Amino acid sequence: MLTFVAGALAVSGAVVAPGVASAEAAVKPVNWQPCPGAPTVDCGSVEVPVDWANPAGEKIQIGLARRKAKDPAKRIGAVLMDPGGPGGSGVASVKGSEQFTEAVRARFDQVGFDPRGINTSSKLLCDSELASKATAARHPTSQADFDQLASLNRQLHDSCRANSGKLAEHVDNLNTVRDMDAIRAALGEQKLTYVGYSYGSVMGQQYAEKFPHRVRALVLDGNMDHSMNTAWDFMRSETAPVEQAFIEFAKWCDTTAKCALYGQDTKKVYAELRAKAKAGTLVGPNGKVDFYQLSSYAFGTTRPAQWGTVATALRGLRDGAATDGAVTTLAGPVANIPYPSIWCSDWRYPVRDYAEYQQLRDRLDKRFPNVQWTPYVEHALTCVNSGTKTTNPQRRLDIKGAPPLVMIGNIHDPATVYEWNVTAARQSGARLITYEGWGHTAYRQSGPSPCVNVAVDEYLINLKPPRWGLTCPATEVPGGTGLDARELQQPETGPYLAG
């Protein structure tokens, strides 16, 4: 989720991809002003068509935030960034903190952008009560429940269309890619330097397809696989790293004296809790704990630093002394809720009815007998009967004529899973840096791996890509105990926001 910044309008002579009109002539330079609440950071915007097929039609705004290069005399340009989502705010990221390493901050302006529909850009507005109800309905147990989910999805997406006008039908990633090129031109950059995290990886992948000759350097950290077509492959691949994390956690617990479940067969303890949760007989201090609430503890094992906390929480739940966490809901009748419309514009995972959904869940139970589920699998139900057209459906990457690209994949990433990174790198020809550790994404100022940071810095600054097959060792230490059970890692509102 990094971006680039410049000052003046792009010069003539920029190399233009074949068959793609230049954006320079149509885009004004950014009028930077101090950001509200962050006077040391600049804010601005770029005006773009709501429908790029009709560039003279209705316009929307794309919000930007910039931190200037720390060493102006050695400034290379601007690096554009996006933190993921869909729904993540690059403006909030850059306003809130430094995004990159000291070496990159010295040589580049850091520019974050809000993709169309999000935060300081022209907003997607949807009914927040319907959003809460649709999310809560994504655990159907009958055809009637499935029908209710379908009805709520349609009502929610109808509300987005009613409150957002044409924007709701023009938020796919292909439009965002065109917006990114307009940003490049407004920043005065002949070529784009970009760091995209998580969902922002799709933006970089498809930018390289559309504008290969306008790429200077692309770093895509935590890649999605936009060629995956079936709901089963999506659910299976998302659940696999959580199952593996739980197995590693159980091994650690069963062999580590400081674990609260040491010597008690961790898998068996969790299986007994899971059976009670499914039967409706598992009770915590705040009432009944269902299977999905219990699953938040299993998901917490994707961070080794939380293993001690998870074990303590599970023991307490077994012994009647655990908390089951707080539940948050959306507030207000209409809110900026970009995720449903963007997700359904970019992905199509048909699930026809409850029987098919139950078959998928049965397969997950058999394939992953410990965790059986992860919160991410339910994103496959977001678009059931939504009425939102998938205008950017899944397909293989086809990048021709771009310079070397760099991707980063974490072996134990529970969100943008490692196999997705391998597929995206293979299809694009990118150099894949493998981080052998945990968590979601790796390259950042406070990232877990100096090995990753050094390789990416060398690429961004000197355009020297890492060697093929570079792997960086894990740095995480299992068994942290500093978190309350309520703070166990859970997914963000959008599925792939960088952590």
Q: Which two tokens stand for residue 412?
A: 């134990």
Q: Which two tokens stand for residue 356?
A: 């098919």
Say how far apart CA 476 and CA 413 lie, in whole Å: 13
Tell me what pLDDT residue 12 has: 29
> Which residues of the chain are under the pLDDT cut of 50?
1-20, 322-332, 481-487, 489-493, 498-499
Tell me what pLDDT residue 287 has: 87
Tell me what pLDDT residue 264 has: 96
Say how far apart CA 9 and CA 188 lie, in whole Å: 4
Q: How distant, in Å, are the alpha carbons of 49, 354, 373, 424 from that of 368?
A: 46, 21, 8, 25
